[in-house]
Amino acid sequence: MGEEMDVPGAATIIAVADAIVAVLAGIVIFPIVFTFDLEPSLGTELAFSTLPAAFSLLPRGRIVAGAFFGLLFAAAITSAVSMMEVGVSTVRGATQFLRRQATILVSVSVFLLRMPSLLSYTPFQLYVWGTPFLDLLDNSVGTLGLPVMELIISITFGYYARHEKIRLW
């Protein structure tokens, strides 16, 4: 990334685009869910249990389902690539690994760490305290962990940052 790169501007564009896509997805998905009297509050299960049932009731539902899950897959892959870059960069900075070696190490580690989540909605039904592991992880990290970490980061940044170095665009 060059010195001339407008990072705040690029971040703003990405955040606005992400918000627009999320709103558009809600505008498309929730009318389908409500039209067919399905449960909208299922969280992660909505995309993989409720929506396939809703798509099967739509005319040309297979085409809509194929497009939806194709776009969901593309979003997941692009997000995974950008998230893995953090780990790859960290491994490369801490070791003498080449990018390829660091990528393989991070990929295998992520694959092994995600196995419990993958087993939540399979015949293995990995449950913890009566809750699918994926839902438990989603609730604990997404509902509790993210706000707590955001608060800790904000307080730490506000306390330790040099105030003369902080600027708004």
Which pLDDT tens digits describe the chain residue by residue (169 residues)? Answer: 567 777 777 778 888 888 888 888 778 778 877 877 777 776 667 777 777 887 888 889 899 889 988 988 888 888 888 888 888 999 998 999 999 999 999 999 989 988 888 888 788 888 888 888 888 888 888 888 889 999 999 998 888 777 666 666 5
Query: Residue 131 in contact with residue 117, Cβ under 8 Å?
Result: no
pTM of the model: 0.54
Q: From CA 95, how far away is CA 107, in angstroms rounded?
A: 16
pLDDT attached to residue 2: 65
Q: 3-class DSSP state for residue 96?
A: coil
pLDDT attached to residue 169: 53
Q: Which conformational region is residue 94 in: left (phi greater than 0), alpha (psi within -120 to 50 degrees), or beta?
A: alpha
Query: Residue 88 in contact with residue 103, Cβ under 8 Å?
Result: yes
pLDDT attached to residue 43: 66
Neighbours of 50 (CB within 10 A): 19
The helix or strand, by DSSP H or E, that contains position 107, with its residue range, turns out to be: helix 99-118
Q: From CA 135, how far away is CA 147, in angstroms rounded?
A: 17
- Could you tell me how far CA 164 lies from the centroid of its own chain? 34
